[in-house]
């Protein structure tokens, strides 16, 4: 008699997803879009989605400012900085013509143009220092929180604390010497401003090439840390993809909100609302004198808040889709201390400098604001100091291994 043995099917192959976090993130994104469309406006709903797409972009491309600056300071690797220059070049080509005419698709638009002065230099330096101790910039903090970084939750909390302290001290730093706001697009005209910006971007990118080759003999490949090929939904993306996507999504923000993408103003709002709930009266602060209604209005009406929360959820969805959502709760005490100090510096510095790496640097340069060009070198100098302080807190400073004959 012949017998046959039935082969039972094995377990289904893993998709490499963190399914529950992915479903939760997607449901919250959809629910938030519907809620905002019903209670605020279709534009606010669209900005929520743009925020989520920014989170996906930042996570999948690992498009950070903090690490890019750190590896250049410590190891002269310039791929991240060159990607930033590419992003800015594409951005000014797209933004400047519409800012020059003052309208986009029939809607009035304006950039982030702030007074260049002592507070910008001081605030940007403090912010740059905070980037390296806190472990992220403004956008980096949010997408890392969404991606499951528990340490960055500490940085975000103290980012909000620093924002509150800066709002409380507004009377002091707002009186520091400063010039009137200057828009290079309006002061110089479209073409001179555009060509001057493109020239500076090219010079910075060229300098990174020279210094990197001098240190390493060649350009160091920007490794993604994985052998998995790039895919749109699961990453990892090349830096160029991230640069282009960030500009397009910032442009979508300009079209929908009438102004570019910003992040940190929401932190001062969240902290002040928290104090209001605890019985304090931040409405009496000079910081809120020009916009007291923001403290009593629902957070859902604040464009920056809506986009920030959307960004966190987008990063959560991206991390889960990549199978990388795995929070680690055991964090060394020195690292937590650095996160707290860095967060306070980030929050305080962002308010003094009229923005962060997004509002003052990325969107500031795309706005043609002179203050953005003060922010960049001051923040880079603060970041360089922060790189040298990181080992005191047990934080890594990346170095390319030296080639040997062994």
pLDDT for 89? 98
In which residue ranges of the chain is pLDDT below 50?
1-13, 223-227, 403-406
**Nearest by Cα to 122 from 378, 305, 314:** 378
Angle CA(180)–CA(127)–CA(391) in degrees, nearest 5?
Answer: 155
**Residue 109, token pair as written in the block:** 């638009």
Task: For the beta carbon of residue 24, count every other beta carbon within 10 angstroms.
Answer: 15
pLDDT value of residue 50: 98
* pLDDT score of 63: 87
What residues contact 52, with CB distance under 8 A and at least 6 apart? 29, 310, 311, 313, 314, 317
How confident is the model at residue 106, as a pLDDT?
86
pLDDT at 2: 40
pTM: 0.92
Give yes or no for a contact between 323 and 17, defined as CB atoms under 8 angstroms apart.
yes
The pLDDT assigned to 3 comes to 40
CA-CA distance, 284 to 257, in Å (whole number)?
A: 28
* Predicted pLDDT at 325: 85
Question: What would the pLDDT profile of 246-294 be if each residue is shown by its tens digit?
Answer: 999 999 999 999 999 999 999 999 999 999 999 999 999 999 998 889 9
Rg of the chain taking only CA atoms, in angstroms: 22
Over residues 308-320, the pLDDT tens digits come to: 999 999 999 999 9
Question: How far, in Å, are 36, 37, 255 from residue 33 at the CA level?
Answer: 5, 6, 18
DSSP assignments along 26-84, one per residue: HHHHHHHHHHHHHHT-HHHHHHHHHHHHHHHHHHHHT--SHHHHHHHHHH---HHHHHH
**Residue 103, beta-bridge partner list:** 108
CA distances from 306 to 29, 35, 163, 312, 388 (A): 11, 12, 18, 10, 36
């Amino acid at each position: 008699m012949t017998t046959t043995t039935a082969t039972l099917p094995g377990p289904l192959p893993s998709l490499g997803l963190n399914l529950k976090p992915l479903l939760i993130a997607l449901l919250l994104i959809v629910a938030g879009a519907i809620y905002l469309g019903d209670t605020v406006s279709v534009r606010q709903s669209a900005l929520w989605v743009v925020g989520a797409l920014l989170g996906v972009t930042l996570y999948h491309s690992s498009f950070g400012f903090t690490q890019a600056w750190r590896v250049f300071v410590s190891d002269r690797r310039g791929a991240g900085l060159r990607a930033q220059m590419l992003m800015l070049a594409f951005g000014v080509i797209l933004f400047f013509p519409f800012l020059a005419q003052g309208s986009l698709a029939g809607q009035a638009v304006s950039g982030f143009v702030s007074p260049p002065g002592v507070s910008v230099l001081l605030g940007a330096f403090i912010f740059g220092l905070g980037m390296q101790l806190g472990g992220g910039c403004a956008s980096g903090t949010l997408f890392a929180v969404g991606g499951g970084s528990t340490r960055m939750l500490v940085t975000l909390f103290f980012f909000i604390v620093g924002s509150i302290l800066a709002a409380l001290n507004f009377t002091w730093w707002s009186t520091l010497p400063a010039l009137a706001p200057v828009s290079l697009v309006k002061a110089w005209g479209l073409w001179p401003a555009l060509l001057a910006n493109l020239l500076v971007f090219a010079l910075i990118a060229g300098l990174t090439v020279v210094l990197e080759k001098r240190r390493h003999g060649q350009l160091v490949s920007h490794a993604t840390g994985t052998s998995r090929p790039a895919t749109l939904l699961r990453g990892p993306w090349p830096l160029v993809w991230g640069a282009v996507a960030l500009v397009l999504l910032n442009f979508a923000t300009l079209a929908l909100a009438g102004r570019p993408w910003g992040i940190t103003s929401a932190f001062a709002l969240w902290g002040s609302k928290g104090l209001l709930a605890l019985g304090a009266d931040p409405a009496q602060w000079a910081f809120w004198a020009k916009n007291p209604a923001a403290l009593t209005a629902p957070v859902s009406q604040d464009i920056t808040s809506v986009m920030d929360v959307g960004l966190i959820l987008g990063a959560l969805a991206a991390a889960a889709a990549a199978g990388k959502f795995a929070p680690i709760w055991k964090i060394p005490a020195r690292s937590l201390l650095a996160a707290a100090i860095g967060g306070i510096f980030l929050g305080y510095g962002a308010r003094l400098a009229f923005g962060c790496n997004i509002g003052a640097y990325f969107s500031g340069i795309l706005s043609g604001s002179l203050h953005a060009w003060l922010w960049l070198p001051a923040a880079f100098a603060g970041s360089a100091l922060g790189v040298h302080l990181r080992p005191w807190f047990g934080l890594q400073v990346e170095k390319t291994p030296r080639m040997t004959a062994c």
